[in-house]
């Protein structure tokens, strides 16, 4: 269900009440988990007051965009590298899933008479989309992520973040100020332990091993695509961004 409103914050209360009434009327339990792009924690606003025990998480893409505001430009040569590593500071591939995928590919190579290669070489050739089909990602936990992001920022601050013409990736004061204020949300990025975030939608046999095919339910990618679509189909001179 999608609801389009002209307001945010308190402007959404009636819409939220309506959703909760529909769940109640239908005898459905509350959703297991809610992803938001703001207002994840703290006392500013929790609009889903009717479901006080529902876990609320911050969408990782939005969190990454907040940190990216500390960059001098999204066109900087190191910007994409920074975003990729930021994501890797938050998520790790499930080692079991990855080992199974490697074993399947090694089996396939053996069947084709190809000489054995290392795990790293196999992973490199697989590409991200193939890994994402068969492997689940898990959050690394608060402590590790705080440490890794701090290290990444330190590594790309100053000298390490200069491009070929000497432009720094970060506005140094700004990026550390943002990190100071955003660190408390690392807790809001962690997967709740009891919620199943992947659905198995199929399987395929490779190298004699049956591999599951997964679909991810984490985050707010599908509403984001819808926002992008709305942004394009609603004509308007001043509209450039909808969140
Ligand atoms: Zn938060």
Average pLDDT per consecutive 10 residues, the chain (243 residues; last block may be shorter): 70 84 94 86 70 90 95 96 96 94 92 87 87 94 98 96 96 97 96 90 93 87 72 64 45
pLDDT at 137 (0 to 100): 94
Which pLDDT belongs to residue 242? 45
Cα(36) to centroid(ligand 1), Å: 10
Does some domain include residue 234? no
Residue 180 is assigned to a structural domain of this protein: yes
Asked if residue 181 belongs to a domain, the reply is: yes
Report angle CA 230, 232, 237 to the nearest 5 degrees. Answer: 110
The number of domains in the chain is 1
Residues with C-beta atoms within 5 A of ion ligand 1 = 40-41, 185, 188
Determine how many CB atoms are found less than 10 A away from the CB of residue 33.
Answer: 17
What is the domain extent for residue 177?
60-196
* 231 lies in some domain: no
The CA dihedral of 128, 130, 135, 139, to the nearest 10 degrees, is 20
Cα 179-184-186 angle, rounded to 5 deg: 85
Using the mean position of ligand 1's atoms as its centre, give its distance from the Cα of residue 39 in Å: 7
Q: Is residue 232 part of a domain?
A: no
pTM, rounded to two decimals: 0.83
Whole-number pLDDT of residue 48: 79
Residue 45's pLDDT is 57
Residue 172 is assigned to a structural domain of this protein: yes
- Residue 37 Cα, ligand 1 centroid: separation in angstroms? 10
């Amino acid at each position: 269900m999608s609801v389009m409103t002209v307001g945010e914050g308190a402007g959404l209360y009636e819409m939220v009440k309506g959703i909760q009434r529909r769940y109640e009327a239908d005898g459905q339990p509350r959703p297991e988990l809610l992803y938001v792009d703001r207002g994840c924690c703290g006392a500013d606003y929790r609009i889903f007051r009717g479901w006080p025990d529902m876990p609320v998480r911050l969408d990782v893409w939005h969190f990454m965009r907040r940190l990216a505001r500390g960059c001098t430009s999204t066109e900087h040569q190191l910007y994409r590298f920074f975003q990729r590593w930021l994501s890797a500071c938050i998520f790790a591939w499930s080692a079991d899933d990855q080992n199974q995928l490697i074993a399947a590919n090694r089996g396939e190579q053996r069947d084709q008479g190809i000489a054995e290669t290392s795990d790293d070489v196999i992973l490199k050739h697989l590409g991200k989309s193939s890994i994402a089909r068969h492997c689940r990602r898990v959050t690394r936990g608060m402590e590790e992520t705080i440490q890794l992001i701090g290290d990444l920022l330190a590594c790309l601050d100053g000298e390490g973040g200069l491009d070929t013409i000497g432009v720094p990736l970060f506005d140094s004061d700004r990026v550390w100020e943002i990190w100071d204020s955003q660190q408390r949300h690392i807790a809001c990025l962690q997967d709740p332990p009891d919620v199943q975030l992947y659905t198995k939608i199929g399987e395929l046999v490779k190298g004699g091993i049956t591999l599951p095919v997964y679909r991810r339910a984490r985050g707010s990618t599908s509403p984001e695509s819808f926002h992008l679509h709305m942004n394009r189909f609603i004509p308007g001179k001043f509209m450039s961004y909808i969140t």
